[in-house]
Amino acid sequence: MKLITILLLCSRLLSSLCQEHTLREIDCNDEDAFLAVDTALKTYNDNSKSCNQFVLYRITQVNKTNEERPFFLIFNYEVKEGNCPVKNGKTWQDCDYKESPDAASGKCTATVRKELNDEFTVASHSCQITPGEGPMITHEYECLGCMHPISTEDPDLDLILKHNIQHFNNHSSHTHLFTLKKVQSAQRQVVHGWNYDISYLIEQTNCSKENFLFLTPECQPLSNGASGECKDNASVNTNLKVDHISQKCQLFPEEDPLPPPRRICVGCPKEIPVDSPDLEEVLNHSVRKLNAENNEEFLYKIDKVKEAKVQVVAGKKYFITFTAKETTCSKESNIELIKSCEFKQSASDLNCVAEVVIVPWEKKVYPRVSCRSAEVDLMVRRPPGFSPFRSMGPIERPTTEQMICEYKGRRGAPGATVAQ
């Protein structure tokens, strides 16, 4: 009899995983995505019977169930065999890829839950491993005791929701009964019975508690009635009876209040148009600072302003993001940029950030400019799905001198120095 009960629980779990969920695709470089993959891969390596650990190669797709924890991440990723034996005290981040024609590789799919305490738990994991020479091998892992997302239309929820809404109506101080409006999310855990986490919306009906003890077909939602949101934890025994319920509901006003007045932050930066006439003087100071801080043969000129902000301080402080290019005007012939200075045809972009403080009553300007070659920026950015774990140290922002020197070095031109 116990065996039949266990098989019944397992079959219900597997069927719940096959139901459709509301998923949202997220960036493969999302921090939660990498932490979830890290947890899944470490669990896989700990349970692996192969000789060497597997190392993350890339993440190919990540889906997320919702924003509020606990939530699930369902993702696909690829691995390659590493040069570190299993259970040698090292993690896969410490391993390099095994350089051998018989090195294995694989494609994996996993479901990982992020708990309220920020911990990650592997709910399911499946890998198809292809040896360097040999047939494909499939490894699967199912956490039968973990929470799994289920469809919000699962018929098993009907009895629980009916019980929980009646519980709310019995204990709330509102004069009217409430009914179910919409199930937002649902999760289930197989124990000796089932545990459920359910989030749903409720709405006020026309039935007052004075005249109705329970919801009946006569109880219909009011268009201008109150509404609310409930988050429940419920335990259901093997006889399909609700044993325990933990309920937290929040009611919203019957009529939406007017939005609060927008807070005005006088001292906060605010965006200004990139073609604003106020930026002309600021951009001139920025490009002068850029040309003064390098010993290049030719002058640079601003090509495009991407973003601009201004902040009221002791004066005005401008924050500008722009691109600059080398011109045909040499410093020997031109101390300052003139209108006839044109961009070199082969010139590459410098991505620049400037902070310029202008104190008009003192007639003083304090410009600071930091630039980086667009080629260097491209190298610094992680490609989608690329594993950052073995190179996650902080990236120091180079000085204008280092950026321009690296940019010139890549073009084969002599380096530059900057006057500090």
**CATH number for the domain that contains residue 221:** 3.10.450.10
**Confidence band for 412, pLDDT divided at 50, 70 and 90:** very low
> Count of CB atoms within 10 A of residue 292's CB?
13
Q: Which residues of 37-71 are buried (b: 16+ CB within 10 A; e: fewer)?
A: bbbbbbbbbeebeeebbbbbbbbeebbbbbeeebb
Structural domain boundaries enclosing 23: 10-147
Tens digits of residue pLDDT in 394-410? 434 445 444 444 444 44
Whole-model pTM? Answer: 0.40
In degrees to the nearest 10, what's the CA dihedral of 116, 120, 125, 130? 160
- Among residues 147, 172, 205, the one where a domain terminates is 147
> Which of 281, 325, 318 lies closest to 302 in space, CA to CA?
325
Tens digits of residue pLDDT in 41-76? 998 888 877 778 999 999 999 998 877 778 889 999
- In a domain, residue 331? The reply is yes
Ranking 150-154, 185-189, 335-339, 413-417 by mean pLDDT, the lowest is: 413-417
Contacts of 222 (CB under 8 A, 6+ apart): 176, 203, 204, 205, 206
pLDDT at 380 over 80: no
- In a domain, residue 1? The reply is no
pLDDT at 252 over 80: yes
Asked whether the beta carbons of 32 and 73 are under 8 A apart, the reply is yes
Residue 84: C-alpha distances to residues 37, 81, 88, 99, 310 (Å): 19, 9, 7, 12, 53
pLDDT at 103 over 70: yes
E-assigned strands of 136-288? 137-142, 147-149, 176-191, 193-208, 227-236, 242-252, 270-271
CA angle in degrees (0–180, nearest 5) for 15-17-23: 145
Ranking 132-136, 185-189, 248-252, 382-386 by mean pLDDT, the lowest is: 382-386
Ranking 152-156, 284-288, 302-306, 388-392 by mean pLDDT, the lowest is: 388-392
E-assigned strands of 133-173? 137-142, 147-149
* Res 48: pLDDT: 78
Ranking 1-5, 24-28, 193-197, 276-280 by mean pLDDT, the lowest is: 1-5
Over residues 34-38, the mean pLDDT reads 92
Q: What SS3 class is residue 284?
A: helix
E-assigned strands of 86-175? 105-114, 120-130, 137-142, 147-149
**Confidence band for 228, pLDDT divided at 50, 70 and 90:** very high
- In a domain, residue 233? The reply is yes
> Which of 96, 110, 111 lies closest to 56 in space, CA to CA?
96
Q: Could you tell me if 109 and 164 lie in one domain?
A: no
pLDDT at 415 over 70: no
Over residues 324-334, the mean pLDDT reads 84
- In a domain, residue 3? The reply is no
- Structure token pair of residue 364: 């003083």
The domain total for the chain is 3
